Amino acid sequence: MDPQTEIIRLFDLMSASGRMKTKLISRPQQATVIQISFPMPWARERPIYLNFDLWFRLSQPQRDLLLLRTVTWLLEVRWFKPDLYQGLVLGGTIATVVELAQADAIGAVTAGGLTGVAIAQIWRLQKRSQREIEADEGALNVAARRGYSRREAARYLAEAIEAVARIEGRPQLSFDELIRTQNLRAIAGLSAVGLPRDGIQE
């Protein structure tokens, strides 16, 4: 299979916002099937790196759902939606600049520390298990607009998570992956045990 043809196909599969904000890049030297970095607020594009030798070991539906899920996760990272921590980052940054301009080292360190704490909190909130489940749900919604039923999309995504671990030679799934596959199997009707309705308490 040709990587460039697959990139074009995947690009067409994405939502309009996914096409605008993400970029698919072939990176054959990586040991993982698909890889992303946590998107920083100043980055205009959010790259998704694919090792196509490994990627093509997945079935097409598995590839579709894995990509849709990755794009959804990237798009849901919002640094600038108004809430307490974004306000603290903005306030801390402004205070740091003001204190530096006034040559107040203690004030600059204090304001910089506040900014760092707020950024760390945003990072933590973006990485929590519930957020991973929300990204899966978002991918299922996009897949439904691409002709997949919710149940089959959930099954393909669960299969993709497990297949990626095998392809990458990992002996077992991570904690988050186990939670996600259990939830997806319940949605697919393959398991009677799902997640609580109010989500994961962390």
Q: What is the pTM of this model?
A: 0.73
- Pick the closest to residue 45 from 58, 36, 54 (CA basis): 36
**More confident position, 148 or 104:** 148
pLDDT at 31 over 50: yes
What integer pLDDT is reported at residue 106 of this predicted model? 73
The domain ranges of the chain are 84-125
Angle at 191 between CA 164 and CA 126, to 5 degrees: 50
**46-83 pLDDT per residue, tens:** 999 999 999 999 999 999 999 999 999 998 875 555 55
Angle at 140 between CA 4 and CA 134, to 5 degrees: 110
Which residues on adjacent β-strands are paired with residue 48?
Answer: 24, 36
Residue burial 174-201, b: 16+ Cβ < 10 Å; e: rest: eebbebbbebbbbbbeeeeeebeeeeee
Percent of the chain with pLDDT over 90: 58
**88-128 pLDDT per residue, tens:** 555 666 666 666 677 766 766 666 666 666 566 555 555 56
- Beta-carbon count within 10 A of 63 CB: 23
- Pick the closest to residue 14 from 145, 148, 137 (CA basis): 145
Q: Reduce the DSSP state of residue 79 to 3 states and report it.
A: coil
Query: What is the sign, positive or negative, of the torsion defined by CA atoms of 181, 184, 188, 189?
Result: positive
